[in-house]
A and B are shown apart, each in its own frame.
Chain A
């Protein structure tokens, strides 16, 4: 018989504390069953949300040892094995406002979702009476993304959201955008793309936390990359995405290194870059960005230029 200790971060009526509970590990016991047992037998005040207990409704995501998990599908035993300890620390999802204990507020997320006009606008050839047509290949292009359950696991450890979530979308919203823009029924993927770029697509730090956390293996970071590629393909029309790509190209061609301080100015224009100064300041403080240091030239710049030239020729 194994006893698991759950150290749960509590928050009730403005008071925060960590409360320790012990549960006896049973075969097939999930995190959620652990919570249910505590609530039924030890402490009715422990609060969390859950509904389907078969990983499809998305209600029960929490953080265990600082990683988001869907409580109804992850076995306590597997966590004990992964972390090599019987003591697990449970917190509410990160990058959400906490209402109580493990319960977080979804309203602001839904409001953000509206920014991308999150719905397929079918082409003129289609109608509600006769439906739409779509090839199996076209269906395959987005079917994976339709599996998102809005559990919020992907944003919990999202570094960009932790830094500043106001000028960015949650990874699950990018997944939704990737789904809609890849759906051949939609008449105006470009409109959705512009909205996504406006809402901060290129600000992703590419840390891959979302992809690591998604319980449905939807690869939100991959969705973000697809959206970026689509936004470049969309136009050299002065959209933010295309400019960002141009800035990267110029840096690599002239210096062989990425000048991240210049990047923001070139891709967004002086004015909007100024609005990002607080972010830049924070990055400077941790040494990721130094405005005052001249960017050195990569010693092998000639070789790099040669490579780019070859690539360009081949492309033509």
Chain B
């Protein structure tokens, strides 16, 4: 044996003896992660926020400015794991810093046009007015902006924008935002109730009482009374399971909880499909691929965007490019089969050093998951569900209030609505910041005006007991379909029958299939009865939420007999402003769903044909 030992071995040897004296890493978990008084329901929060993404944390910081209000963020994971971290491009806002020609009106018009006129223009005006301010504010909060020569943050131009107005941090803009907000939350001692899965928002007859959740670590069911709640739980891309860019956690938990207490799901059919997900697993290749000049090719090596958007080519908006790709695949000019069929994205004409410098993440992901070096080979890509424009109906964009007093919503789970039928790149981070802040103020003002708790602790307790029984019953079931089987069938139905292209026959089939799955879900097997961090139970809850959301997507898609933005009906290929320049509202009463409409607010921008 060699006498020489490495530095690593030497230090390890030294430490091994020392560490053996210290306690091991395995402990008995006592459930003390949540303070006893909170666990027992003895703390009434002024504002309880569900979700720790950009919207949730931004809202909390706003509420925390009011020293006399008790606020906490409840999250099903730990604070920095949200979908917000995945946003790449940046945050839009007119500042004129990089492009002095930019105006708030231009941002508003781009947003309205991008939305295919389905947004509420008063909300868009408010949003674009605030968006620039938010960028400066984040600078002051420590956001690590890429800079330009004069020392200001630099802004870049994103798809569908007529000026450079997206401030950013490399290709990890959302990640940087989440961590800057988290630092602020730590510095301001914002209370986190981590790793608690929301089960129910308790509100009977329009009277909000609080929430019921399961503390993942201890398995304790907890009910938390609150005077107000801000739902900031993100989107529902996982309804399409493998064909989504979203994280595993985007399961529409807040939207489903709101539906169950009578708050409608607004424009559920408006799902954005990002054109460039990896063929194998749906992981996103950034939109900056196309901004840097990548081509889209079909199997005959044709740049097919010539046919669909001859002026903007690959830089047309997401919905247009997505439909072009699906058309190529459906008409037999794609490669591969089934859920993995694809077209190519080609970078070979871009110098390798530029690829590595500007598209490092795209380069790595293609290499890792598809085994393709994009400098020498085109990478197979296909559309992937990316964003939910629809969400919890917000009735006042200046507070983000919903129709139940005390319940607010912000971020991707909400529909305010600024994205209408199609969201522009880099408008989502601005949205969570603008409306996170608005929600924080809205809820704080509400609590100041309604200082005493008017909910019912008895109802909360009853809901908690019901969930206790449900946990026991569901986790001990041994025969029936598995949660995973139901999930996979749901995703297949949603992709093929309520995906990029839709028609009446397939949507009706989808409605029947989703109902069947909802019935099967009542008897499905969780497969794990432990109370400690039962992720199988968590997945069971999430799939239940996704089924409710999917049902609403399908109903919304059936009701909207036109094509607009992210919603494309083969049987109604044109936009129909006469009948459908309005929002869909899907309600759930008990087990039955119904659809209503609500007018779109138009201020300055009368609908025009949308051409790029």
Contacts and interface: CB of A to CB of B under 8 A. Distances in A.
Interface stretch (B27-35, B291-299, B310-318, B547-555): B27-35
B301 interface: no
A92 interface: yes
Nearest to A93: B25
B152 A57 contact: no
A25 B165 CA distance: 45
A283 B27 contact: no
B364 to A, nearest CB: 8
B142 A183 contact: yes
The winner among A56, A99, A105 for most chain B CB atoms within 10 A is: A56
A59 B75 CA distance: 14
A68 B49 CA distance: 33
Interface string A114-141: 1001111010001111111111101100
Interface in B268-283: 280-281, 283
A223 to B, nearest CB: 15
Contacts of B82: 51, 57
B247 A142 contact: no
Interface stretch (B15-23, B325-333, B460-468, B579-587): B15-23
B133 A286 contact: no
Contacts of B247: 51-53, 57
Interface residues of A, number: 89
A54 B284 contact: yes
Given A12-B532, A283-B18, A139 B25 contact: no
Interface string B236-277: 000000000001110000000000000000000000000000
Contacts, number: 227
Contacts of B146: 139, 143
B144 to A, nearest CB: 4
Contacts of A98: 25-27
A283 to B, nearest CB: 6
A169 B29 CA distance: 23
B371 A44 contact: no
A201 B218 CA distance: 34
A126 B140 contact: yes
A127 B18 contact: no
Interface stretch (A145-153, A296-304, A308-316): A145-153
B187 interface: yes
Nearest to B138: A131
B592 to A, nearest CB: 32
Given A136-B149, A286-B13, A107 B532 contact: no
Interface stretch (B108-116, B169-177, B510-518): B169-177
Interface string B1-45: 000000110011111111101100111110001000000000000
A103 B78 CA distance: 11
B450 interface: no
B27 A97 contact: yes
B509 interface: no
Given A75-B368, A148-B179, A54 B86 contact: yes
B247 to A, nearest CB: 4
Nearest to B369: A28
Contacts of B7: 207
B454 interface: no
Nearest to B482: A44
Given A107-B33, A283-B18, A146 B169 contact: yes
A54 B283 contact: yes
A45 B284 contact: no
A114 B365 contact: no
Contacts of B283: 53-54
B570 interface: no
B140 A122 contact: yes
A12 B530 contact: yes
A230 interface: no
A138 to B, nearest CB: 8
A28 B282 CA distance: 13
Interface in B191-207: 192, 194
A50 B85 CA distance: 13
B122 interface: no
Contacts of A159: 11-12, 14-15
A48 interface: yes
A255 B11 CA distance: 24
B484 A40 contact: yes
A28 B26 contact: no
Contacts of A131: 135-137, 139-140, 152-153
Given A45-B530, A47-B535, A282 B21 contact: yes
A45 B536 contact: yes
A284 to B, nearest CB: 10
A34 interface: no
Contacts of A208: 8
Contacts of A293: none
A87 B19 CA distance: 27
The winner among A39, A51, A98 for most chain B CB atoms within 10 A is: A51
A126 B140 CA distance: 7
A75 B484 CA distance: 23
A168 interface: no
Given A28-B369, A131-B152, A286-B13, A56 B172 contact: yes
A69 interface: no
B489 interface: no
B217 interface: yes
A72 B141 CA distance: 30
Interface string A173-184: 000100110010
A134 B142 CA distance: 11
Nearest to A122: B140
A44 B147 contact: no
A139 B147 contact: yes
Contact of B11 (A50, A147, A164, A205): A205
Given A73-B368, A131-B139, A94 B25 contact: yes
A27 to B, nearest CB: 7
The winner among B79, B140, B146, B217 for most chain A CB atoms within 10 A is: B140
Interface string B359-387: 00000010011110000000000000000
Contacts of A128: 136-137, 140-141
Nearest to B15: A159
A178 to B, nearest CB: 13
B33 A105 contact: yes
A100 to B, nearest CB: 4
Nearest to A16: B26
A129 B368 contact: no
Contact of B365 (A54, A100, A278): A54
Contacts of A162: 15, 18-19, 22
A37 to B, nearest CB: 10
Given A44-B482, A51-B81, A57-B81, A286 B136 contact: no
Given A75-B368, A143-B146, 17 more contacts: A28-B369, A44-B482, A45-B536, A47-B533, A51-B249, A57-B81, A98-B26, A110-B192, A119-B184, A128-B140, A132-B140, A135-B151, A136-B149, A139-B145, A142-B144, A163-B18, A180-B142
The 4 closest A-B pairs by CB, nearest first: A131-B139, A44-B527, A133-B151, A120-B142
Interface of B: 7-8, 11-19, 21-22, 25-29, 33, 77-83, 85-86, 133, 135-137, 139-142, 144-153, 169-170, 172, 175-176, 179, 183-184, 186-187, 189, 192, 194, 217, 247-249, 280-281, 283-284, 365, 368-371, 482-484, 526-528, 530-536
19 contacts: A14-B28, A16-B26, A40-B484, A44-B483, A45-B527, A51-B247, A53-B247, A56-B172, A96-B25, A98-B25, A100-B29, A105-B33, A130-B136, A139-B144, A185-B139, A207-B7, A279-B18, A282-B21, A285-B17
